[in-house]
Amino acid sequence: ILSEIRANSGVAARNEIYNLNIKNIKLTKIFKNILIKLLENPKIQNDKKYEFIKCFTKYNERQINSYKQQIHYEALCMELIHIYHK
């Protein structure tokens, strides 16, 4: 997914997250599956995998403690795209 999304096309990712969220689809499970796929990918360097884990940990905590989860899902997605493409 991230390889298909460029850093400048975050609006499309944001819209997709919004569409899933308003349908009450559990985004936490989707993001956990994304993390697993990223960590299992042998083409991704270990330092990036470590950054992905830190990123997921940070936003998971924020998402649990917040009222507006949508903002944190969007920020997580944007940061993942940034890490993947740097």
pLDDT attached to residue 39: 95
How much of the chain exceeds pLDDT 90, in percent?
31
Q: Give the model's confidence band at 3: pLDDT under 50 very low, under 70 low, under 90 confident, else very high.
A: low
pLDDT confidence of residue 48: 96
| pLDDT of res. 41 | 94
DSSP 8-class letter at 5: S
Mean pLDDT across the stretch 38-46? 95
Rounded-to-integer distance, Cα 50 and Cα 59, Å: 14
Burial of 81 (0-12, 13-18, 19+ CB in 10 A): buried
pLDDT exceeds 90 at position 71 = no
| Largest interatomic CA distance in the chain | 36
